[in-house]
Structure 1
Amino acid sequence: MRVIAVSPESKYANEADVIVRLLQAGLMRYHVRKPSWTLADCAELLDAVPAEWHARISLHQHHVLAESYAVGLHYKDGMAVDHALLGGRICSRSLHRLDELETLLKQVDYAFLSPVFQSITKHAYGPSWMEADLAAALSGACAAKLYALGGITAANAARAMAYGFEGVVVHGSLWQAADPLEAFAHFRKEAA
């Protein structure tokens, strides 16, 4: 199962070390999503991660850092993709509506569709579609580029994959655990 992780929004102790260890343990990509961080904060985190891992990291903010680091770029729902910055980099985006899939997936390498299940970190935030509609939307070729985000746990990851997603995105199940590395190991073992 292909697994991507999204960072905690705030500072996390030894995050650079955790990033490397997650990637070494089989994580496909690590998305740095730090809405309140400055450009300098993000650069400091990237500087703390050995350069050989940068190609498996994507930034949600401060895309200009891609001029100095070999990272991928992620775009929020509704945000235009800046093709001038891409230069062959991995490009992804967030999607929240099933009717956007065909059009917006053509612009990126992959996308997150959320929320697939009830969110772990955002209370009262769950899917806005019926399961049958999700399954129908994912029956086309677009599913090969879609990752399920929102409420993903070891207990429901297989269900997400059964809908037809390429993989899953973990967030709350990692960062609300006492040890995200142990949580990821458990996730890989139980969700496989």
Structure 2
Amino acid sequence: MILISNPIAITNEINTIHALFENGMELFHIRKSEFTEFEMEVFVSAIGLEFRNQLSLHSHHHLAKEFGIHRIHFTEKMRTETSEESLKKWKEKGFKLSTSIHCMADFEKLSDAFDYAFFGPVFESISKPNYASNLDFRMELKQRKNNKTALVAVGGITSERIKAALEYGFDDVALLGTIWNSSNTIENYKLCQQIVHLY
């Protein structure tokens, strides 16, 4: 199970991130698209050294090596602008790569360099109201041929919808709004984690 950062700053954010790690968070994607390079440096510096290998950067990829981060994420736009040669160079340096897709055709064409891909919104997004897909994900995933890249459900994933997403055929789920909009972030995360582990 993956957690994506809130795109905007929230109160006590770093303390909450540490508490989530201490409660079993395995992978944290830092998606702060508005951050300058300096703001990203400050943010990452505040996260404990012991958690660096569980972080993925969505922007300012060149900072990854400096901070001992071994995962980077490519937006759809970024992916289309990156050569296969460049992706392979990242892999040769020991990085795990992920990306975002919005249709199965793109997933099937993905470079083998990508370890996993976010696909969604599977349900109506919590963080982006009125953002939903008209795809039938159960049918889409039945046609899946690419088994080299893990497929991660994103968008509208709540504790009540995790089972459905995994039954559609997704390998994993990524959470955002259901955690950051929760009145009890840690307990809600732990609940989601328990459900994922059942499947």
TM-score, normalized by the shorter chain, greater than 0.5: yes
Q: Per the alignment, do residues 61 and 11 of structure 1 end up closer, same or farther by CA in structure 2, a change over 3 Å counting?
A: same
Deviation at 1:146, TM superposition (A): 0.8
What residue in structure 1 maps to residue 193 of structure 2?
188
Aligned residue type for 1:148: A
What residue in structure 2 maps to residue 142 of structure 1?
147
Out of 111, 119, 124, the position equivalent to 1:113 is 119
Aligned residue type for 2:34: S
Out of 149, 159, 166, the position equivalent to 2:164 is 159
8 A Cα contact 2:119 2:153, kept in partner: yes
Helix, strand or coil for the counterpart of 1:168? strand
What residue in structure 1 maps to residue 29 of structure 2?
31
Deviation at 1:142, TM superposition (A): 2.8
Relative to the length of structure 2, the TM-score reads 0.86
Pairs within 5 Å for 1:83-102: 83=87, 84-86=89-91, 87-102=93-108
Deviation at 1:14, TM superposition (A): 2.7
Deviation at 1:190, TM superposition (A): 4.8
Post-superposition Cα deviations, 1:29-78, rounded to whole Å, max 9, x if no partner, equal 10011111111111111111121211110011111111301221000013
Relative to the length of structure 1, the TM-score reads 0.89
Q: Per the alignment, do residues 108 and 131 of structure 1 end up closer, same or farther by CA in structure 2, a change over 3 Å counting?
A: closer
Post-superposition Cα deviations, 1:163-186, rounded to whole Å, max 9, x if no partner, equal 111110000000111232122023
Q: Distance in 2 between the 1:58 and 1:38 partners? A: 17
What residue in structure 1 maps to residue 5 of structure 2?
7
8 A Cα contact 2:112 2:149, kept in partner: no
8 A Cα contact 1:16 1:46, kept in partner: no
5+ residue gaps in structure 2? none
Aligned residue type for 2:178: S
Q: Per the alignment, do residues 137 and 124 of structure 1 end up closer, same or farther by CA in structure 2, a change over 3 Å counting?
A: farther
Helix, strand or coil for the counterpart of 1:88? coil
8 A Cα contact 1:143 1:165, kept in partner: no
Deviation at 1:26, TM superposition (A): 2.2
RMSD of equivalent CA atoms: 1.9
What residue in structure 1 maps to residue 48 of structure 2?
50
5+ residue gaps in structure 1? none
8 A Cα contact 1:148 1:168, kept in partner: yes
